[in-house]
Structure 1
């Protein structure tokens, strides 16, 4: 068990119930994990960041069941991961400059080794409201999410929650997850194509503060939120 005396701030008061609620979501290595990898790849692209993760925070460690930009099935000690902090908060957990203003609740070694400059995470919760993991995005440089981007991450966390619940309910049914991937490929690719077009149009602008550039940015966020809402509806329908 993690040394709670050394890192007491990482242990929520409902830790026992939280760990019990985590059990059905231990989906690492089960059929359908590719869906999580596909999902975080889309998330990274929506935020234009090199790293996106879906994590589960266990008693002693944090396991990434879907990741973009990191080694497969990466597992780190709980006290080394900012995802351990994200599950403590109701809203967005954001560290805008990890180097100069690091998270004081965790060991900074892993973040330093990964050359991280930015972290933002949203807790993933069970139907009873217990935080079991997080959806997060990370960058190599300092940055800040806009209010609209924060809302987008929140909506995408709802999608990740639905993926977790679907996977937990059908962990031994690879056919369902394969069918789901096929069903989602169309709307995802259409949205990504539109986002690419908007990004290319924005590159023609000399600065980011012109009316057209701001319009392209707003349109990209609208398209990203539309995609998040579409994914959420499709997953709810699949889960019945």
Structure 2
């Protein structure tokens, strides 16, 4: 990448960050099934058309999980707001991209995709170096509530553990045979409860106390799902070197 064109995208610790990215380069080709399944769930939880897991490399950004785009993508680093998300400890949010585009990246890609909203949380290695992001996007402007922001952070922790797991599997690490079945059961149970809450909410008028309670219960269930998946993955990865 021409580092003089968008110099704000390059963190001061870029050399260390790229070195930390190396164990995950096995994930540098699109089509990782586990991440496609994961971002599909994320999109449903936020009721957004697009969700992505990305790795930010030296010159480009590769989406290793993709929901809502016609195909998995690799884009120039200066064209992706995920390049901005890795610069921040907290949530990166652009609530109205058309009215207030991100000044750190090329605005034309977002315009071509007709994006109205972006929210991303950096994904970090166990040593705290940002290697990518988990993000959700919409075609219209919107704003995450504080509870939704916490949910995205919880889901980013799950994505971080999935990154570690996939990198470990590439080196010969094995997981318990029962893990996939257990994780799938947890996900399906939560998705069923979330669908039930959504159906019940349809019977309530908007902006009522009952509607707000259903929405909050839905977020509580989603956060429970994220935290359960995180604990399961942490337990499995306890023996993997930090």
In structure 2, runs of 5+ residues without a counterpart are none
In structure 1, runs of 5+ residues without a counterpart are none
Deviations 1:56-115 (A, max 9, x none): 000000000111111443101000000000000010000000111110100011111111
CA–CA distance in 2 between the matches of 1:171 and 1:179? 19
Give me the TM-score of the superposition, normalised by structure 1. Answer: 0.94
Deviations 1:149-173 (A, max 9, x none): 0011011111000000111111255
1:35 aligns with 2:34: yes
Structure 1's consecutive aligned runs of 4 or more residues displaced over 6 angstroms after TM superposition are none
Deviations 1:101-148 (A, max 9, x none): 110100011111111100000000111111000000000100000001
Give SS of 1:100's match.
coil
Partner of 1:111: 110
Q: 2:225 aligns with which of 224, 227, 237?
A: 227
Partner of 1:217: 215
Asked if 2 retains the 8 angstrom alpha-carbon contact of 1:27 and 1:65, the reply is no
Aligned in 2, Cα 1:29/1:183: closer, same or farther, shift over 3 Å? farther
Asked if 1 retains the 8 angstrom alpha-carbon contact of 2:27 and 2:167, the reply is no
Q: CA deviation at 1:176?
A: 4.0
CA–CA distance in 2 between the matches of 1:88 and 1:134? 10
**Relative to structure 2, which stretch is displaced further, 32-41 or 10-19?**
32-41
CA–CA distance in 1 between the matches of 2:71 and 2:176? 19
